[in-house]
Amino acid sequence: MDLRRYIRDIPDFPKPGILFKDITPLLSDGKALRWTIDQLGERYRGSVDMVLGIESRGFLIGAALAYALGVGIAIVRKPGKLPSEKLAAQYALEYGTDTLEIHRDAFGERARVLLVDDLLATGGTAGAAITLIQQLGAELVECAFIIELEFLHGRQRLAPHKAYSLIQY
């Protein structure tokens, strides 16, 4: 299936000069969504104990994938959104820094974790999530994305960890 048909380009969002890759058409098409989750499910079936979804589109893909794999989902969020005891990791933005948080009891030590998000750009967000996985003593199996913007070299920033994407631009 050509998933590019279901990705909408939104120029100048969220700020001028950015070409936003909108996955909502993919999410709203049952066949395309099923195909996406089936592809990821086939790749990871039997090799993970937990899916970790990154706020917020990673929650959508991650929850569906966790269900398909028969495992749980944990989440990483921006500060102030998680109610229980948590860990935090900062990451660099173009101008400044941001932070992600995870519950300390999101998964156990030695859990095999699959990191999931909709898009890999510079790798900053995924890199912070990897730091949180490591702080909890778990094993990162791979980072999975629907879309990868290769020209931003996010995959290199995640090295030595493996990354997989269904669509590359």
pLDDT in tens, 117-151: 999 999 999 999 999 999 999 999 999 999 999 99
Q: What is the arithmetic mean of pLDDT over 45-68? A: 98
Percent of the chain with pLDDT over 90: 96
CATH 3.40.50.300 is the classification of domain 44-168: no
Per-residue pLDDT at 44: 98
Q: How confident is the model at residue 96 (pLDDT cuts 50, 70, 90)?
A: confident
Higher pLDDT, 93 or 59: 59
Q: How confident is the model at residue 34 (pLDDT cuts 50, 70, 90)?
A: very high
d(CA 107, CA 62): 15
pTM for the structure as a whole: 0.96
Mean pLDDT of the chain: 96
Q: What is the arithmetic mean of pLDDT over 16-32? A: 97
Asked whether the predicted pLDDT for residue 94 surpasses 90, the reply is no
Per-residue pLDDT at 26: 98
Q: Which residues lie below 8 Å from residue 97, measured CB to CB, with a gap of 6+?
A: 90, 91
d(CA 132, CA 18): 28
Per-residue pLDDT at 93: 78
C-alpha pair distances (Å), 109 with each of 47, 64, 137: 16, 24, 5
C-alpha pair distances (Å), 159 with each of 7, 11, 13, 90: 27, 30, 28, 18
Catalytic site residues? 57, 94
Asked whether the predicted pLDDT for residue 46 surpasses 90, the reply is yes
Per-residue pLDDT at 130: 98
| Residues present in the chain in total | 169
Q: What is the arithmetic mean of pLDDT over 149-160? A: 96
